[in-house]
Amino acid sequence: MNRASLKRSKILHMALMGTSDPTAEAEASQEKPFVLRALQIALVVSLYWITSISMVFLNKYLLDSPSLRLDTPIFVTFYQCLVTVLLCKGLSSLATCCPGTVDFPALHLDLKVARSVLPLSAVFIGMITFNNLCLKYVGVAFYNVGRSLTTVFNVLLSYLLLKQTTSFYALLTCSVIIGGFWLGVDQEGAEGTLSWTGTLFGVLASLCVSLNAIYTKKVLPAVDGSIWRLTFYNNVNACVLFLPLLLVLGELRALFNFPQLGSAHFWGMMTLGGLFGFAIGYVTGLQIKFTSPLTHNVSGTAKACAQTVLAVLYYEEAKSFLWWTSNMMVLGGSSAYTWVRGREMKKMQEEPHPRETEKSNVEV
């Protein structure tokens, strides 16, 4: 019983802190020529940046474009989940029919597994829905600040669920993030572009991202540890649960009255959004595989900075010095937290286990 409790605690800790098994990382890291490895990393990081930034701008277009005028955020999210389900099933069939062409697990819908994944699916639905609703109501430039409290929720949940205290320096970085968040909200208000609705959705999205990490680790054994199987079941459950929401919120009626419903361009953009949603999961895993969780976090922070600059330039917005300061506080605080946690985890790994020390002393 104690061993099971310790194992569950360790899994939750890894989920919250963004750490991974050092043994697995050591085995995955094989000797390769420096130039080849550097080229691979550059290509993978570039692919992650392009996919992630493109997905944000495309979703903003689908959710809040003056030319599109489509007010159905739940349907957009539902359609992207449906595309992911079809892609997973298609790749699974291809792997079965033509072994060796693609490495993808066999997928068969099991209602028992779907039920066991349901708690995670509820959090997953909240995460993707609140993300899209936040993006609908706030600008792309403010999007990262609006969803910047994920790290803070990680620390809070690690204490509430694991009774795990956080170091002073890590808490200090969180205070910088919170300060940057509030300064950003203040500056958006001063410029007359603040949406409290969008900001609230951003905070809820941050909470769901943290909860998603916890439940993902807990539910993985139900799908034999396969991220792709988990993706399949998550999106199947999401598609089913979204249907009553589409009816209750009247989005199906709004969709039927949409002037561009028969437009090939509209459905092409919707499908492309689904493809990006599927691809981001793959390229994220790819970036972690070729670098490390720590480098992935740093890359994500740098990508957020580039995305903010691109959004300001693309939408021709004029931002104040304090607005840029809020972004730098959020990005700097997130980077500092990643660096502090990385040093702390490295120090923990280098310190000898208490039992090993006792054994060594007895032998001497």
Residue 31: per-residue pLDDT: 59
Residue 143: per-residue pLDDT: 93
What digits encode the pLDDT tens for the residues 339-353? Answer: 888 888 888 877 765
Q: Is residue 7 part of a domain?
A: no
What digits encode the pLDDT tens for the residues 174-205? Answer: 999 999 999 999 999 999 999 999 999 999 99
Q: Is residue 266 part of a domain?
A: yes
Least confident of 96-110, 172-186, 249-263: 96-110
Least confident of 42-46, 62-66, 213-217, 239-243: 213-217
Residue 2: per-residue pLDDT: 47
Mean pLDDT computed over 68-74: 91
Q: Is residue 324 part of a domain?
A: yes
Question: What gap in Å lies between CA 106 and CA 114, rounded to an integer?
Answer: 15
Structure token pair of residue 109: 């819908």
Least confident of 54-63, 219-228, 235-244, 354-363: 354-363
Sign for the CA dihedral angle at 82, 299, 155, 165 comes to: positive
Structure token pair of residue 42: 């550059």
Residue 341's domain comprises 38-347
Q: Is residue 285 part of a domain?
A: yes
Residue whose token pair is 């997953």: 124
Residue 20: per-residue pLDDT: 46
Residue 130: per-residue pLDDT: 95
What digits encode the pLDDT tens for the residues 126-140? Answer: 999 999 999 999 999
Q: Is residue 252 part of a domain?
A: yes
Nearest to 84 by CA among 284, 289, 239, 288: 239
Q: Is residue 220 part of a domain?
A: yes
As a whole-number percent, the residues of the chain with pLDDT over 70 amount to 87
Q: How far is CA 69 from the centre of its chain?
A: 27
SS3 of the chain: the string is CHHHHHHHHHHHHHHHHCCCCHHHHHHHCCCCCHHHHHHHHHHHHHHHHHHHHHHHHHHHHHHHCCCCCCCCHHHHHHHHHHHHHHHHHHHHHHHHHCCCCCCCCCCCCCHHHHHHHHHHHHHHHHHHHHHHHHHHHCCHHHHHHHCCCHHHHHHHHHHHHHCCCCCHHHHHHHHHHHHHHHHHHHHHHHCCCCCHHHHHHHHHHHHHHHHHHHHHHHHHHHHCCCHHHHHHHHHHHHHHHHHHHHHHCCHHHHHHCCCCCCCHHHHHHHHHHHHHHHHHHHHHHHHHHHCCHHHHHHHHHHHHHHHHHHHHHHCCCCCCHHHHHHHHHHHHHHHHHHHHHHHHHHHHHHCCCHHHHHHHHHHC
**How high is the mean pLDDT of the chain?**
85
Mean pLDDT computed over 118-123: 92
What digits encode the pLDDT tens for the residues 285-324? Answer: 788 778 777 677 778 888 998 999 999 999 999 999 999 9
Question: What gap in Å lies between CA 217 and CA 88, rounded to an integer?
Answer: 21
pLDDT above 70 for 354? no
What digits encode the pLDDT tens for the residues 19-51? Answer: 444 444 444 445 568 788 888 888 999 999 999
Those residues whose C-beta lies under 8 Å from the C-beta of residue 331, and which sit 6 or more positions away, are: 144, 180, 301, 304, 305
> Residue 350: what residue type?
E
Q: Is residue 49 part of a domain?
A: yes
Entry pTM: 0.82
Question: What gap in Å lies between CA 275 and CA 334, rounded to an integer?
Answer: 28
Q: Is residue 4 part of a domain?
A: no
Those residues whose C-beta lies under 8 Å from the C-beta of residue 211, and which sit 6 or more positions away, are: 123, 126, 127, 157
* Number of structural domains in the chain: 1
The confidence band for 266, taking pLDDT boundaries of 50, 70 and 90, is very high
pLDDT above 70 for 358? no
> Residue 289: what residue type?
K
